[in-house]
Structure 1
């Protein structure tokens, strides 16, 4: 597997883990109702990151297309998380934006 695929797969799994942690942590916040969009995007982002990594590992002909969509969802999730001051949200925002960049690079190279 080429290095760019491997970097993207790793970024996807790191992002999925950050999103899982963020969603779980958001549920523990005092005003959870204010975290609804963050939680929703976290769940969606984690799911597409895992599927994208899986298809890249399988060398699927659909990996590049899915990675383009993954980048969009990661950017949206990162933007939402970035609006919140919680450490878990800020960590998630960084992971999402890094994953989005890795997915865009991979999709452009495929």
Structure 2
């Protein structure tokens, strides 16, 4: 039932991971720091969706890591004018909002 209870955060995490994957691919070669942060952010968001879907006891720790990594990725992507970076930054910001809701429920915010 965890996947139904936390549908909005799972959806935000998957969307963020998708946008990060796209941004990473577009930034490879010309913006290496952006690409690296997008890779990290995408990986942690894919992972968080899995942990949250199955109701893992490690959700509070994962969510805290996601907030920090998504924040770093959003800040980097916001520096760039490309559409893919701006879309990625927006997806990161939305994921952060959802992760914070989960963190506050878990008592770690």
**TM-score, with length taken from structure 1:** 0.89
User: How far did 1:64 drift?
Assistant: 1.8
Check if 1:87 corresponds to 2:88: no
Q: Distance in 2 between matches of 1:79 and 1:46?
A: 15
Q: Please give the residue correspondences for 1:67-82 in structure 2 after superposition, counting only pairs within 5 Å.
A: 67-82=63-78
| CA RMSD in angstroms, aligned pairs only | 1.4
Distance 2:5 2:12 in 1: 10
Unaligned runs of 5+ in 1: none
Scaled by the length of structure 2, what TM-score is found?
Answer: 0.90
Given the alignment of the two structures, is residue 13 of structure 1 paired with residue 14 of structure 2, yes or no?
A: yes
Unaligned runs of 5+ in 2: none
Q: What is the aligned length?
A: 105
